[in-house]
Amino acid sequence: MSLSDISVRLGRAVEAAGRPTGSVKLIAISKVQPLGRVRAVLESGHRIFGENRVQEAGEKWPDFKAEFDPADRAARETAQPGKIELHLVGPLQSNKLNRALELFDAIHSLDRDSLARKLSKAVQSRGSCPEIFIQVNTGREAQKSGIDPDFLDAFVETCQRSYDLPIRGLMVIPPVDDAPETHFRQLADLARRNGLDGLSMGMSGDFETAIACGATHVRVGSAIFGARKTGP
């Protein structure tokens, strides 16, 4: 597999779902990958990437941005393929919040009130806000982050009303042993009910299913870059 294979499959899935071309964003998840593989994907022109750890992102992306981002505004506006867009898809600890806001254009893992409150304050003092997705634990797995679906509506309302946070959409990581489609459909229902249209769902093994269920953001790692080393 490679980026171009995945782009082709993504395009076919979008078309098969009867959805408009360009309605699904492909986030290339580069965590743990050798820098050479990431560089090759950057050189091919892809600009949307995701990481699951703030510290790891901070070690590689400032250099890539310095190298690949067009230097000034005029160049940015005319440049093909444009500026790097970085998405945080893994858990966010409060003490890494400010670093995360320096690095990331989108956060997919808002999962608790205390983080929403701190995010709101930080966003106000910075005067800019990343795209925010609320992670939902549709599988109700004890060890997994994410808001319990029963509490989601109230949490969305608190984020919007009390914290004045613009919520782009919802994100899910289905339980490994379940058919993902049930979880994708549930996430889409939860989003619709809350008036949200962003759906961050689908990974290497199931992004086409996610697109059929309405995904607007798919997070694909190993199918683009190759298998990750899973530690010693």
Ligand X SMILES: *Cc1c(COP(=O)(O)O)cnc(C)c1O
Is residue 87 involved in binding ligand X (CB under 6 A)? Answer: no
Please answer whether residues 30 and 50 qualify as being in contact, where contact means their C-beta atoms are separated by less than 8 angstroms: yes
Instruction: Provide the 10 A C-beta neighbour count for residue 96.
Output: 17
Interface mask (CB under 6 A) for ligand X, residues 185-214, using x and -?
A: ------------------xx----------
| DSSP classification of residue 227 | P
**Whose structure tokens read 């005029």?**
74
Chain center to CA of 10: 16
Which span sits near ligand X by CB under 6 A: 10-18, 112-120, 178-186, 219-227? 219-227
What is the C-alpha separation between 206 and 72, in angstroms, rounded? 38
- The nearer residue to ligand X, 73 or 190, going by C-beta atoms, is 190
Options 76-84, 156-164, 186-194, 218-226: segment touching ligand X (CB under 6 A): 218-226
173 near ligand X (CB under 6 A): yes
Residue 137 binds to ligand X (criterion: CB under 6 A): no
**Looking at 13-21, 150-158, 161-169, 216-224, which segment touches ligand X (CB under 6 A)?**
216-224
Cβ proximity to ligand X: between 100 and 203 the closer is: 203
- The tokens describing 19, both together, are 């959805």
169 contacts ligand X (rule: CB under 6 A): no
62-68: long-range contacts (C-beta < 8 A, 24 or more apart)? 62/103, 64/38, 64/39, 68/42
Does residue 20 have a cis bond before it (omega within 30 degrees)? Answer: no
Q: Which is nearer to ligand X, 75 or 227 (CB)?
A: 227
Binding status of residue 90 toward ligand X by CB under 6 A = yes
Q: Note whether 223 and 6 are within 8 A (CB).
A: yes
- Provide, rounded to whole angstroms, the least separation between the CB of residue 88 and ligand X: 9
Among residue numbers 42 through 71, which ones bind ligand X (CB under 6 A)? Answer: 52
Cβ atoms < 10 Å from Cβ of 31: 18
Residues that bind ligand X (CB under 6 A): 29, 31, 52, 89-90, 173, 203-204, 219-223
